[in-house]
Structure 1
Amino acid sequence: MSVSAKSDADFRAVARRKLLAELRPAPAVVAKRYLLSGGFLGLFCFCLWSFDFSPARTTTGVGRLGHVLSFMFPPHIWTNWASFQPVLEGLCQTLAMAFLGTLLGAAVAFPLSFLGAKNINRYGIFRQGMRRGFDFIRTFETLVLALIFIRAFGLGPLAGVLAIAVSEVGNLAKLFSEAIENTSKKPVEGVRAAGGSRLQEIRYGVLPQASPVILSIILYTFESNTRTGTILGVVGAGGIGFLLADRISAYRWDEAWSIIFLIVVMVYLIDSLSAKLRALLIGGWEGGK
């Protein structure tokens, strides 16, 4: 090997070592990574220990689950209208519960969202107070609200509607306010330059931008609340969930499986229709701007 070739090889080797040294993380970073990984692993093991997890228990549980599933097949088929009518009414109640709860929650959340948006509400203390109010409402789980309203108004879909509505006020108000904040300032400045008032700035500058996002949020929330309405029925808020809990408690597993299948079909149809409606409304809104 010539002297020049050897010098070039030595230069590349030194450059490679320097590059690897620069790319190698600092000892403090390495220690932090090991510490976080160890903490995560320790937390994972503690959770398994506190929940009494063991291979034997898992094997036993899987065996029992298979035994329960064996009672679900073949699924029950209703042969007369009198026996199928309560199931159909339960599905309709769950759907109506989700629709009314979402509609009422959105109706209350929409005006409140403007008070939580920083480009609309310029008073920082007032705006932060509204935001913390949204967070406070969101801390109450829908299931807990349903239990409270069942105690107050009795069993039935009314408690489920109120639970969904109150829960969605906090969720939707937060999401709506974020959609309003993320709008561009240029349309608002254009309305202001044309001599528009503050309300006209909101009406013609902010709403055309935020409305497609708000509509999408409402439709997605309706899809989610269709599933939530099923769970609320289990605790006595009416709907198909109430019938499902009744069949499970009576060990009528074949009927329970058939009801679960109908719930899956209903949620799938709602998701598909909601996606088409969202594309239709948002596409029409954007095309008309």
Structure 2
Amino acid sequence: MREAPDLAALKARYPQAFRVAWAARLTGLGGLGAVLALAAFAMVRLDFSAARILNGLGRLGEFALLMLPPSPEGHLADFLRALAETLGIAFLGTLTAACLALPVAFLAARNVVPNPVLHFAVRRALDVMRSVDVLIWALIWINVVGLGPFAGALAIACADLGALGKLFSEAVETVDRKAAEGVTASGGGALHRIRFGLVPAVLPVLGSQVLYFFESNTRSATIIGIVGAGGIGQYLTELIRVLELQQVAFLVLMVLVTVALIDAVSGRLRRALIGGEPR
């Protein structure tokens, strides 16, 4: 059995391996201290109080009891129509955003458009659209086209156009270039390189991202309905105001079940698109 190397000899031979990185440690401690100080300032500034939370737990329990048992109370048909409208808003908004984001993504990709001015302009435009929350888009479109699901679909389309455009362009930039180079070597032009070299390679990834956004937008469509953009959110806000909590619980349960079903189906589709085995 070999004897363990002498620690002093190792330190003498490899001093850099045993040197204490004080600068890195102090930087890490300083960053942690800054985060804790910022958190403390935010808690004071926002009047955060653990006592208020504890005092409100009893009231929260009362609300939970009033929500049992969940019941549509004769409005099941209306709730189902509102849920279908919510799904329609999410589907149409996601589909519109994906269709618009696909050509914009190629303009924003550096390996497709080498022009730095055009690339910068498209990227910044996507950043602007992505920085505005879907709820703000809903309020804008309600004032433009009026109340209803059409405004909700437009709001989701605008919010997702920025996000999907960014994700699509990043997928195009990171795709394996061998197929595109093969098309170019075979005599293909720029459009042939995009159509036969880039699109088939990125399409599974783009489809997976669109499915994920549809699942997320089902919840977003519920939220924007609260401000009058159609869907089940309108019923939620009205019933909460009049404290019809059993019906509220039934609507929440409907949304949870719907999102779970969409998640299960879209998960299998995503795995199929990217080549994974369905579970």
Whether TM-score is above 0.5 comes out as yes
Partner of 1:187: 179
**2:191 aligned to which of 194, 199, 202:** 199
Gaps of 5+ in 1: 1-7, 285-289
- More displaced, 258-267 or 35-44? 35-44
- The one-letter code matched in structure 2 to 1:42 is A
Partner of 1:32: 27
Partner of 1:259: 251
Q: 1:126 to 1:77 in 2, by over 3 A?
A: closer
Which secondary structure does the structure 1 equivalent of 2:20 belong to? coil
* Cα displacement (A) at 1:147: 0.8
Name the CA distance, whole Å, in 1 between partners of 2:150 and 2:36: 45
Partner of 1:173: 165
Partner of 2:219: 227
Q: Does residue 1:216 correspond to 2:211, yes or no?
A: no
* Cα displacement (A) at 1:30: 2.8
Gaps of 5+ in 2: none
Q: Does residue 1:56 correspond to 2:48, yes or no?
A: no
Partner of 1:287: none
**1:271 aligned to which of 237, 260, 263:** 263
- More displaced, 52-61 or 19-28? 19-28
Name the CA distance, whole Å, in 1 between partners of 2:52 and 2:34: 26
Q: 1:124 to 1:249 in 2, by over 3 A?
A: same
Q: 1:259 to 1:45 in 2, by over 3 A?
A: same
TM-score, normalised via structure 2 length: 0.91
- More displaced, 95-104 or 24-33? 24-33
Residues 109-166 of structure 1: CA distance to partner in whole angstroms, max 9, x if unpaired?
A: 1111110011110111211111111111111110001011112222111110010011
Structure 2 matches for 1:75-114, cutoff 5 A? 75-78=70-73, 80=74, 83-114=75-106
Name the CA distance, whole Å, in 2 between partners of 1:188 and 1:139: 33
Partner of 2:63: 68
Name the CA distance, whole Å, in 1 between partners of 2:28 and 2:271: 45
Name the CA distance, whole Å, in 2 between partners of 1:283 and 1:37: 41
Residues 180-213 of structure 1: CA distance to partner in whole angstroms, max 9, x if unpaired?
A: 1111121112111211121111111111101111
* Cα displacement (A) at 1:20: 9.0
TM-score, normalised via structure 1 length: 0.88
Larger radius of gyration: 1
**2:6 aligned to which of 12, 15, 33:** 12
Name the CA distance, whole Å, in 1 between partners of 2:30 and 2:269: 49
Q: Does residue 1:148 correspond to 2:140, yes or no?
A: yes
Which secondary structure does the structure 2 equivalent of 1:119 belong to? coil
Which secondary structure does the structure 2 equivalent of 1:155 belong to? coil
Q: Does residue 1:134 correspond to 2:126, yes or no?
A: yes
Name the CA distance, whole Å, in 2 between partners of 1:98 and 1:199: 32
